[in-house]
Chain A
Amino acid sequence: LAKTTQPISMDSYEGQEVNITCSHNNIATNDYITWYQQFPSQGPRFIIQGYKTKVTNEVASLFIPADRKSSTLSLPRVSLSDTAVYYCLRSTNAGKSTFGDGTTLTVKP
């Protein structure tokens, strides 16, 4: 299965912008990239999805370069409540959706 690669952990401080990059070198033409947030003992929560270039919503931005081999989730002005595990998900047109190992983001006061 095609997994994505992310940093295992990141630390940040309240109010800072956080950028988490995900590698997906073997991404196929029809694949989408979706980011999820997960708190302990809860199901993942959708953050943002994209195919190419830049997508922005009320909570985050997603940057995907032209070659689509990576993507960067940008969280503006994080708060303590943003401490969670963030997953970059590659959704393939074969019907498989594989989670990578996730990035544990710790936001400090």
Chain B
Amino acid sequence: GAVVSQHPSRVICKSGTSVKIECRSLDFQATTMFWYRQFPKQSLMLMATSNEGSKATYEQGVEKDKFLINHASLTLSTLTVTSAHPEDSSFYICSASVGGNRGEQYFGPGTRLTVT
């Protein structure tokens, strides 16, 4: 149980275009979902926390107008990278939790974004 999927697993896009990444909890309802970014050989950086039906809370330094997060249901959250640039190329990982942030997080497999 506790499976989280992400789609797509890998995406290549041109500079200036927008990319949407989906995160789904397949067999449980997630009250909270998290979005992380990971650059090569670095740790995961929390970008934002989203609760179903409310606006996401972004970490300091993360542009909310560039990284649009929607958490429309208890099983789906989306991250849209708008007007992507090469520096946005990274590994984006979502996680889902049933019991807020103290509960165990279930991570998705990640999405590799390459902006050319």
Contact = CB atoms under 8 A, between A and B. Distances in A.
A99 B110 contact: no
A32 B34 CA distance: 17
Interface residues of A, number: 26
Interface stretch (A18-26, A40-48, A61-69): A40-48
Interface residues on B, range: 20 to 34
Contact of A42 (B45, B95, B105, B110): B110
B102 A96 contact: no
B91 A100 contact: no
B109 A93 contact: no
A65 B106 CA distance: 26
B107 interface: yes
Contacts of A45: 107
A12 interface: no
Given A41-B91, A44-B44, A97 B107 contact: no
A44 B109 CA distance: 8
B100 interface: yes
A100 B59 CA distance: 16
A41 B34 CA distance: 18
B19 interface: no
A95 B100 contact: yes
Interface in B66-116: 91, 93, 95, 100-110, 112
Interface of B: 4, 6, 32, 34, 36, 43-46, 49, 57, 59, 91, 93, 95, 100-110, 112
17 contacts: A32-B102, A36-B107, A43-B4, A43-B108, A45-B107, A46-B104, A46-B107, A87-B44, A91-B102, A91-B103, A94-B101, A95-B49, A96-B46, A97-B46, A98-B46, A99-B46, A101-B43
